[in-house]
Amino acid sequence: MLDFIPSLPIASWVDEAVKWVTNTFEFFFDPVKDNFGWLLDTTAEYLSMIPPVVIILLVAVLAFFMSGKKFGLAVFSIIGLLFIENQELWSELMYTFTLVLYSSLLAVVIGIPVGILMSKSNTAESIIKPVLDFMQTMPAFVYLIPAVAFFGIGMVPGVFASFIFATPPVVRFTNLGIRQVSTELVEASDAFGATGQQKLFKVELPMAKPTIMAGVNQTIMLSLSMVVIASMIGASGLGRNVLSALQRAEAGAGFVAGFAIVILAIIIDRLTQNLNKPNQ
């Protein structure tokens, strides 16, 4: 019935666009691929070189102090990490951690300023919001395709795809946190003659800190959830073990690798949750 409208060649347009971007920005993508890829590999390798015992102890001490001198999380970390070491997944764990670390860092470093911009300008908010919706709801597999086109295969496109998937929460929470600062506090800061910058750093960001930290926590969790998907384009780590177990229908190996991801997730989550304790 609707035959009179010919099928729009959207797919081929997107193909053309990706091809164009790949070729035009090759000068940018290539060095990023090489240098950033080198950084990721080196970080993971160095982490793998540290004896596991040292890392386990460090994490346990960190957990003890960050959870307010309680033993629960510290004990869990020791047992969980020893289990991973015992299953001979330690170097995979280090690669996964590296992937999560860099994609979360990138998301936070870019996400918080974007969130601030969004909170300061209604125009910016109305433009950025649908972009964030798009980033979060577009199936994550779809990002892998241009990621491979831009950066080849390996860790770098994995970080890229995780970054796109994981950035929205930190942007949204930063925006929300700043907009939620009570009018009276904003007025107080204006009435005493604070500049815009002073208001942001001395009043708005400290007030919004618990909310922003909740966003950071979400971002880290989301980037961790991308680990398996990123392994499909060659990112090393625990995800690769899950993927290969899937391909060979090895339920046991899949379970062990998956369980290791869960342990890592719980440790990181509980650690970062302690960062968003409310203000005095």
Partner 1 sequence: MPVIEVDNLSKIFGKRSKEALSLLDEGLSKEEILKKTGCTVGVNRAKFQVEAGEVFVIMGLSGSGKSTLVRLLNRLINPTAGDVYVHDDNLSTMNKEQLRRVRREKMSMVFQKFGLFPFRTVLENTVFGMEVQGMDKEEREKKATEALELVGLGSFIHQYPSQLSGGMQQRVGLARALANDPEILLMDEAFSALDPLIRKDMQDELMDLQEKMQKTIIFITHDLDEALRIGDRIALMKDGSIVQIGTPEEILMNPANDYVEKFVEDVDRSKVLTAENIMMRPETVDFDKHGPRVALERMREQGLSSIYVIDRTRQLKGYVNADDVLEARNNQVTSLKEIIKNDMPTVEKETPVQEIFDIIHDSPVPVAVTEEGKLRGIIVRGTLIAALANVNGNGVEDNA
In terms of Cβ atoms closer than 10 Å to its own Cβ (0-12, 13-18, 19+), residue 81 is buried
70 contact partners, CB below 8 Å, separation of at least 6: 64
Nearer of residues 12 and 280 to partner 1, judged by Cβ: 280
Q: Residue 21: which of 132, 160, 193 has the closest Cα?
A: 160
CB under 8 A: which stretch of 38-46, 120-128, 198-206, 244-252 binds partner 1? 198-206
**202 interacts with partner 1 by CB under 8 A:** yes
Q: What number of other Cβ atoms are within 10 A of residue 14's Cβ?
A: 12
Residues from 205 through 234 that contact partner 1 (CB under 8 A): 206-207, 209
**277 interacts with partner 1 by CB under 8 A:** no
Nearer of residues 207 and 263 to partner 1, judged by Cβ: 207
Q: In angstroms, rounded to a whole number, what is the distance separating the alpha carbons of residues 249 and 158?
A: 24
CB under 8 A: which stretch of 131-139, 166-174, 203-211, 218-226 binds partner 1? 203-211
What is the closest distance, in whole angstroms, from the C-beta atom of residue 60 to partner 1 in the complex? Answer: 30
Q: Residue 226: which of 272, 279, 163, 184 has the closest Cα?
A: 163
Report in angstroms the alpha-carbon separations of 173 from 22, 84, 224. 32, 33, 19
Q: In angstroms, rounded to a whole number, what is the distance separating the alpha carbons of residues 203 and 116?
A: 13
134 contact partners, CB below 8 Å, separation of at least 6: none
Biggest alpha carbon–alpha carbon distance for the chain: 71
In terms of Cβ atoms closer than 10 Å to its own Cβ (0-12, 13-18, 19+), residue 39 is middle
Nearer of residues 56 and 207 to partner 1, judged by Cβ: 207
**123 interacts with partner 1 by CB under 8 A:** no
Nearer of residues 37 and 210 to partner 1, judged by Cβ: 210
CB under 8 A: which stretch of 90-98, 163-171, 202-210, 249-257 binds partner 1? 202-210
Site string for partner 1, 150-189 (x = CB under 8 A): --------------------------------x-xx-xxx
What is the closest distance, in whole angstroms, from the C-beta atom of residue 88 to partner 1 in the complex? Answer: 46
**194 interacts with partner 1 by CB under 8 A:** yes
Among 2, 11, 191, 251, binds partner 1 (CB under 8 A): 191
Chain residues in the site for partner 1 (CB under 8 A):
182, 184-185, 187-195, 198, 202-203, 206-207, 209, 279-280
